[in-house]
């Protein structure tokens, strides 16, 4: 019995390592600044929540905030919606930059260069007016780095939430020369 339990623990630990290890190490991006650059260029984040019977996936525009080592993704939404059922829970996220399809006639193959970031974090709502305005400011700066004005009174009818990133990884596939 002890041998079987030890084998089960070993198998579980091996699975955990395989689950987080990237299969194509040649495509892995490890430089934090390169990863943040991808996040800055992405326009949509997809959040995924555990739900029964299938995961709930939500594409959203977002604002990126980097505070030292902390990364926060800011989002907003209407007063109601299924996403609010997941407040306080962990969510997975994905964002990517597509670079179009490439067809190689000599090889008769098609591929797509891309850059992507996946990770997880805690999904939270902010309710204080100053926090909400800060989140909306981050959204505007992400979409318009040169800045844009918006109606501040919208904060009264807008729900603002964020994903405090706890873990992430990234990869890139560039075209062959």
Q: Is residue 12 part of a domain?
A: no
More confident residue, 156 or 6: 156
**pLDDT for residue 19:** 52
| C-beta of residue 133 within 8 angstroms of C-beta of residue 139 | no
Query: Could you list the residue range(s) of the whole structural domain that residue 131 is in?
Result: 25-173
Q: Is residue 154 part of a domain?
A: yes
Structure tokens at 75: 């989002």
Tell me, rounded to whole angstroms, the distance of Cα 168 from its chain centroid.
8
Total domains, the chain? 1
| Neighbouring residues of 82: CB distance < 8 A, sequence distance ≥ 6 | 56
Alpha-helical runs (H) found in the chain = 2-20, 32-41, 129-143
C-alpha separations of 164 from 66, 74, 99, 139, 168 in Å: 10, 9, 28, 15, 11
The model scores a pTM over 0.85: no
Q: Is residue 11 part of a domain?
A: no
Q: Is residue 138 part of a domain?
A: yes
Strand partners, 127: none
SS3 111: strand
Q: Is residue 142 part of a domain?
A: yes
Q: Terminal CA-to-CA distance of the chain, rounded, Å? A: 56
pLDDT band at residue 12 using 50, 70 and 90 as cut-offs: very low
Q: Is residue 92 part of a domain?
A: yes
* Listed ranges 8-22, 56-70, 102-116; the one with the highest mean pLDDT: 56-70
Can you give the CATH number for the domain in which 127 is found?
2.30.110.10
**pLDDT for residue 176:** 65
Half-sphere exposure of 152 (CA within 13 A, CB side): 5
pLDDT > 90: percent of the chain? 59
The dihedral through the CA atoms of 68, 62, 156, 77 has a sign that is negative
pLDDT digits (tens, 9 = 90+) for 139-161: 999 999 988 888 888 888 899 99
């Amino acid at each position: 019995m002890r041998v079987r339990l030890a084998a089960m623990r070993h198998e579980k630990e091996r699975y955990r390592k395989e689950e987080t290890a990237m299969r194509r190490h040649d495509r892995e991006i490890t430089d934090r600044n390169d990863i943040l650059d991808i996040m800055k260029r992405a326009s949509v984040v997809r959040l995924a929540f555990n739900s029964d019977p299938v995961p709930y996936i939500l594409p959203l525009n977002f604002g990126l905030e980097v505070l030292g080592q902390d990364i926060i993704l800011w989002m907003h939404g209407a007063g109601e919606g299924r996403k609010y059922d997941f407040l306080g829970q962990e969510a997975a996220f994905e964002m990517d930059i597509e670079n179009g399809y490439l067809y190689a006639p000599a090889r008769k193959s098609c591929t797509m260069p891309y850059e992507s970031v996946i990770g997880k974090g805690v999904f939270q709502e902010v309710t204080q007016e100053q926090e909400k305005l800060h989140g909306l400011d981050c959204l505007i700066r992400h979409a318009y780095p040169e800045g844009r004005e918006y109606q501040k009174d919208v904060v009264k009818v807008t729900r603002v939430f964020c994903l405090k990133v706890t873990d992430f990884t990234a990869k890139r596939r560039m075209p062959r020369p």
